[in-house]
Amino acid sequence: MKRIGVVAKTDRADAREVVERLLAWCAERGLQPVLEKETAGLCPDTQAATARKPDLPGQVDLLLVLGGDGTLLSMARLVGDLSVPILGVNLGGLGFLTALTKEELFPALDAFLAGGLVIEERVMLAAQVWRHGERLSEYVALNDVVITKSAMSRIINLAVSVDGQFATAYRADGLIISTPTGSTAYCLSAGGPIVFPTMPAVVLTPICSHTLTNRPIVLPADQRIEVTLQSDQDVMLTLDGQVGFALKEADVVAVHQAAARIRLLRFPQKHFFSVLRTKLKWGER
């Protein structure tokens, strides 16, 4: 490894300090940091290389994300099929993807150089919007694909097919199509199950379903899901809660497992259940 890409959430109070320490650490080891352009603004006197956020993953051997889960999600979509491993460091509060603390950053980097970190591959979702047989847009998501009504809309009607076979219809505020990684995000808040993050699965979780027997469903990741909007209302498609597309009646959202997988790094001892215990405070009451 020679080049480390660095992306920081620049409005965090300790972001500048961490980036400055990271630059010194790289200099001591003869490694070349490449700073995302906004991140570089934290250290205006640095001579380190810079890159635009969309270009950064293609220029580095390791991507270091300093911030929260939202920052990591935005970078994961840009990494796509480049297979660049991502190390997430939490500079805020709750974080399942950025599970490392500031204090663990440099031990983790030393462990990575020595081959001592575990690489977890996570499923991503690919989503397409079709209107009258024409594909309008295509996205990828690491956490979830969500179809939801606007604040002033009534309950919406959705028809769901799985691998070409009609599965069910929902009358609800919306529908969350989640990866195992996203099962601890919006899916969990809506009553969905926690799914082990490396499982090849997809979770369908209705949002406030009008039919109380509509429960979350776990499907194999290789099945194709098609959701048809059957309501003429203001409805949005969102990807990881960060990218949006306005849907119209009869639009079809087709979701399937993306070809790319995201590679997240972690300490061997920092397994999924230790993160759950820490973040959700399991066993404390």
Active site residues: 69
The residue count for the chain: 285
Q: Which two tokens stand for residue 195?
A: 């799914």
E strand or H helix that includes residue 106? helix 102-113
Count CB-CB contacts under 10 A for residue 269: 7
Give me the amino acid identity at 114: A
CA distance 270 to 276: 10
247 half-sphere exposure, CB direction, 13 A CA radius: 29
Residue 138 near residue 149, CB atoms below 8 Å: no
Give me the amino acid identity at 36: E
CA distance 200 to 172: 27
Residue 157 near residue 239, CB atoms below 8 Å: no
Count CB-CB contacts under 10 A for residue 80: 17
Residue 249 near residue 228, CB atoms below 8 Å: no
CA distance 42 to 45: 9
Residue found by looking up tokens 């890409």 in the block: 5
